[in-house]
Every structure is written in structure tokens, then in C-alpha cells.
Amino acid sequence: MTEHSSSNNHIIRRKIKIDAGILPRNMSDSSFLKKEEIILKSLHNHNIFHERQRVIIVGGMPDGEKIAQKLLLDPERYDIIGIFDDRVNRLQSVDHTVPILGNIDDMIAFCRRELPDTIIIAIFDAGKNRLRTLIRRIIVLPVNIYLAMDIIPHADSNRGRPEITLLPLSKVPLSGIKYIEKFLEDKILSIFFIILFSPIMLIISILIKLDSKGPIIFTQDRYGFNNKTIKVFKFRTMYVNLEDQSGAQRTVKNDPRITRIGHYLRNWSLDELPQFFNVFGGSMSVVGPRAHAVAMRVNNEMYEKLIDCYSARHKVKPGITGLAQVMGLRGEVSNKEMAQKRIDYDLYYIKNWSLFMDFKIILKSVYICLFKRDNAF
């Protein structure tokens, strides 16, 4: 045990070995261990709008139960959804003040359906490997995630009560003012570009109908925010009987499935203009990680199985263009290294988002579409 001092009392923290290695490589940073811990009872103060927080606790008796009891003392601020723990069968026979809802897989499935505001990991005696594995499974979720740290009074001090502190592991991206800025950016720009490109879209629609049989618009299931499936709109660029709705078959240079007009549309990225309607409807953003088809593969392996923490890129809405694309990673993905680089850029974008970055990406995207179209096919 190691001694820790404060102005109010002397305390001992139960020793948990924490270092940057508990986070995935592409989601860690040098400032992780310098983050200021917060006291459990002040968690509400870190909510910008001070709304009632919906909380999930990972870990049952005794640690998770201890946290549940403390939060239940303030029902106007906290709504405890329940406890999830891989030891669910053993915990079912133990009385808890909140329901035991399942294991970690059940929790992830729950969060994909209905997001909480906060997840608190409360397993004080977890070994480093167990903690690392657990965090890597949870950190892909677009919620605030904290690691609870147990604190007890120092033996020679009778002053003060024991407290539990929380170490922030992951914060909701684009929350508070940033969310409002991004929302307004998408609404204003989508309306502007729909009006600007409406004559061009009308001409393209006519050319597609004249060029080959089939619908003007091609829709495809792709991953959206929080891994939800969304319908993404594109101008049809392939022959109807050769289209791949799943996205499992990657488009390659001189692909025989592409129509005559389709080659021009894809080369100039004009096939993606209908996605501004996706942005206006709220399922996409102008800038963000590119929307991947649900069956997208790299070397015949599913993307999410090949790349560590792949679904963390779905913490924000997908974009028509993104940081990876303007950094030269546009077009065919032929190997794991290229796929990993794309994800790394996506996660960097999510972590460091700003309006300035978005407008810089938009301007670079326009330049690439006009002058650097080598990988567009």
C-alpha cells in the first residue's frame, strides 16, 4: 500500500497497477496517467448540462455494490441501470441493491441499443491483464468510462470519511458545446451543398438513366454511429446485376462492374453527392470516419476481426470525407497495415476534433477531387 496525502486527511489507496498499457495502443496518449481523478460523489459536476445521468456499473459485490449504494443516495442525479459482470452466475445468488443484468457481452449489446451516459468499472482487485482485456472490450463504446479506485482512511487518522475516486479512461467525443458546433456545421453545410449541387445532381440522374437500366440511387447498409446500421445513398455506378449490396467485394481499378458514366462519377467522387441528404437527415456528417459497409473485408477477413478496437471509429457519425482520405489513404485497402493506418487516423480525428480541422479536411478534399484522383475508382 502507498500513502497519499491531501489537505483534509491521510489516505491509503488499495494498490492497482495502472499504466498506459491498459489502454489500446491507438487509443492511448502520454497524458493518460496525468489525468486528474475525480471523487465519485462529484461525478455529476462533470456533466456540462447537469442532467440526470444514466449509469452502468461493471462489477458486482462487493466493489460495484459499494458504488451503487453511494450513487443511489442521490436519485435526482443518478439513474443506476444495473450491474454487468462476467461472474453473473455466481452473483445472481448474492443480494444487490440494483439488478444484475448480465455479462460484459450483454452490456455491450445493451449499449448498442440504448446508450447510458456513464460506465464505471468497479473491480478493485482486478489483475492488470484482466483489467486490460476488460477495458479493450468496453472502450469502443461512445460513453464516459471511468475506472473506480478504492480509497480507505490512513490508520493513524480519524478525520474524514473514505472516498472512491474515478480515473477517466474515455470521454464522450463531441459532447456539450462541441456537439452543438458539429450539429450546426452539418445542417448548414448539407443545405448549402444540396442547393449548390442540385443542378449537377439532376444532370447526373438523367445520364445514369440513359447509360444503363436500373435505379438512379444505390443504397447500401453501412455502419453508423454506435455500430448501428444506416442506409447510405450514392449515385448508382455499377450494372444492376453486378452490384454487391453487402460491400464484401471491394472495388478495384478498371472494375468490370462499373458502368461508363460510373467511371467518371467515381473518378470525380460525384457518386457521393447524395450523401448530403444523409447528412441533412442526421445519419452522417460532412466530415468523419468514412462509412464502411457492414461486410467490408481486408484480405478476406472482416475488418472488425482484423483491427484492434475497430468499432471505436463509430463513436461519432461517419463522414462523406475524412482525415484518413486526405492523408493519402483513399481507394482500395489491400493489406492489414493500410487498414490499421486508416483506423489510427479515424481515432486521432475523433480525439482531436475541432471546427478548424473539419474545414481544413473539406478544403483538402476539394483539392484532391480536382487535382489528385489517382486512387479514385
Residues 6+ apart with CB under 8 A from 86: 103, 104
- Asked if pLDDT for residue 249 goes beyond 90, the answer is no
Say whether both 202 and 290 belong to one domain. Answer: yes
The pLDDT tens digits for 121-162 are: 998 777 778 888 899 899 999 999 999 886 555 444 445 556
CATH of residue 83's domain is: 3.40.50.720
Say whether both 346 and 228 belong to one domain. Answer: yes
| Domain coverage including residue 332 | 177-371
Say whether both 100 and 203 belong to one domain. Answer: no
Residues 6+ apart with CB under 8 A from 20: 28, 29, 30, 32, 33
183 domain residue, yes or no: yes
The residue that leads in pLDDT, 15 or 255, is 255
Say whether both 156 and 298 belong to one domain. Answer: no
377 domain residue, yes or no: no
pLDDT-based confidence at residue 278 (cuts at 50, 70, 90): very high
The pLDDT tens digits for 337-352 are: 888 899 999 999 999 9
Comparing 46-55, 252-261, 273-282, 301-310, which segment has the lowest mean pLDDT?
A: 46-55
pLDDT-based confidence at residue 5 (cuts at 50, 70, 90): very low
| Percent of the chain residues past pLDDT 90, beyond the cut | 52
The pLDDT tens digits for 154-177 are: 444 445 556 788 888 888 999 889
Say whether both 206 and 89 belong to one domain. Answer: no
- Asked if pLDDT for residue 58 goes beyond 60, the answer is yes
The pLDDT tens digits for 80-89 are: 999 999 888 7
236 domain residue, yes or no: yes
- How far, in Å, CA of 327 to CA of 206, rounded? 34
66 domain residue, yes or no: yes
Domain's final residue, options 153, 170, 187: 170
